[in-house]
Amino acid sequence: MKDYSKFNAEAVLNEVNNILDEMECEGKHNVRMDDVYDKLSIFDWWKDRLTRSDLNNMRRFLEVGIELGFTGYCCFKVGVTGCANGMWVHVHESEEGYSPRGACLYRSFTPAYTYWSFCTEEDEWVPSHKDDEYDRIKTAKQLKEEFHNFYAKEVNA
What SS3 class is residue 44? strand
What domain count does the chain have? 1
C-alpha span between 43 and 83 (Å, rounded) = 14
Lowest mean pLDDT, pick from 30-39, 60-69, 128-137: 128-137
pLDDT the model gives residue 72: 98
What pTM value is reported for the model?
Answer: 0.94
pLDDT the model gives residue 34: 97
C-alpha span between 98 and 127 (Å, rounded) = 24
- Residue 112 Cα distances to 48, 62, 79, angstroms: 18, 20, 10
Tell me the residue range of the domain where 114 lies. 5-156
C-alpha span between 57 and 111 (Å, rounded) = 10
